[in-house]
Structure 1
């Protein structure tokens, strides 16, 4: 469980807490917090949000894959 800070969006919250902003993480967060959408795209400060039980992403840089590799 965490609380939002002023100006948080779902993606920003997921990145700050889990270092993830992918579709699977977002879908899991919405499923745990069905009333969250009522706040709109920017969440007010102090809203309690249940975080999904997902692994944090590694901070290691990944090599980009291009069509020419």
Structure 2
């Protein structure tokens, strides 16, 4: 597993995008499961929090279907 240290002003979404290139609900839930108490810091993290990133498969691209084609 990979770890990151937060910078002042980071958000969970930013951390997930920088570390995993995804910030969906599944990744967020896995991140909170691995880092108990992380939610206590609020939506904007202070600097210096060590965060363990989950190992997750790369998210498949979403397919958009145009019903008029």
Give the TM bin, normalised by the shorter chain: 0.7 to 0.9
Counting only pairs closer than 5 Å after superposition, residues 5-24 of structure 1 correspond to structure 2 as: 5-24=7-26
Task: List runs of 5+ in structure 1 lacking aligned partners.
Answer: none
**C-alpha RMSD over aligned residues:** 2.1
Give 1:68 deviation, angstroms: 3.2
Does residue 2 (structure 1) correspond to residue 11 (structure 2)? The answer is no
Q: Select the residue among 17, 23, 38 that pairs with 2:40.
A: 38
> Which runs of structure 1 show a deviation greater than 6 angstroms over 4 or more consecutive aligned residues?
none
Q: Which has the higher strand share?
A: 2
TM-score, normalised to structure 2, is 0.80
**Aligned counterparts of 2:29 and 2:20: Cα–Cα separation in 1:** 14
Count, aligned residues:
67
